[in-house]
């Protein structure tokens, strides 16, 4: 197995596990009286991330991997885990509002309002660049910026309602 394939398997498995965790956390929050915000844009997010991963598999599986850029991508994975660990059961891929719950202000949220989105922005650019696919990095960075503009607008509105599970 080449390094590129190993990386793609890692990212694919990671994302699938995260979807299972997100689904469990969403159900947990909804059972406690939470509600979803921004449901209409969620399919865009899913298509974007699935297409990004599919493009990496299609064009990158035989690529040689730039180890410096891959190391930076792995730093993003550490930051991703920090965000998820900080949010605990409140982390989900959807925008879930739990009325009355205080905003999370610990961990990376001490420094940034939306640290997970910063990680995602970096990931979407770094992994294709590590595979020598700058056009995939550019295309999906632009598409991600558009989707994040919609998502962050919806999430900021929900943050004003207090008690959001940051995605």
**Distance between CA atoms of 34 and 69, rounded to whole angstroms?**
39
Q: What global pTM score does this model have?
A: 0.91
Instruction: Name the 3-class secondary structure at 37.
Output: strand
- Find out whether 107 and 47 touch, Cβ atoms under 8 Å: no
Phi/psi of residue 26, each to 5°?
-60, -50
Segment 14-30 shows an average pLDDT of: 97
Per-residue pLDDT tens over the stretch 67-84: 999 999 999 999 999 999
What mean pLDDT is predicted for residues 108-136?
97
The 10s digit of each residue's pLDDT in 27-80 is 999 999 999 999 999 999 999 999 999 999 999 999 999 999 999 999 999 999
Per the CB < 8 A criterion, the answer to whether 66 and 130 are in contact is yes
Distances (CA, A) of 8 to 1, 75, 103: 11, 16, 34
Q: Are 89 and 29 in contact (CB under 8 A)?
A: yes
């Amino acid at each position: 197995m080449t390094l590129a394939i190993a990386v793609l398997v890692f990212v694919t498995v990671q994302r699938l596990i995260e979807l299972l965790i997100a689904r469990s956390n969403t159900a947990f929050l909804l059972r406690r009286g939470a509600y979803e915000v921004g449901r209409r844009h969620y399919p865009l997010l899913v298509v974007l991330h699935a297409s990004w991963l599919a493009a990496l598999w299609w064009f990158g599986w035989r690529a040689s991997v730039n180890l410096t850029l891959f190391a930076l991508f792995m730093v993003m994975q550490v930051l991703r885990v920090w965000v998820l660990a900080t949010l605990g059961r409140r982390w989900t891929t959807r925008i879930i509002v739990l009325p009355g719950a205080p905003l999370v202000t610990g961990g990376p949220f001490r420094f940034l309002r939306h640290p997970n989105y910063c990680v995602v922005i970096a990931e979407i650019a770094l992994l294709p660049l590590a595979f020598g696919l700058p056009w995939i990095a550019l295309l999906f960075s632009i598409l991600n910026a558009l989707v994040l503009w919609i998502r962050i607008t919806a999430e900021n509105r929900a943050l004003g309602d207090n008690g959001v599970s940051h995605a």
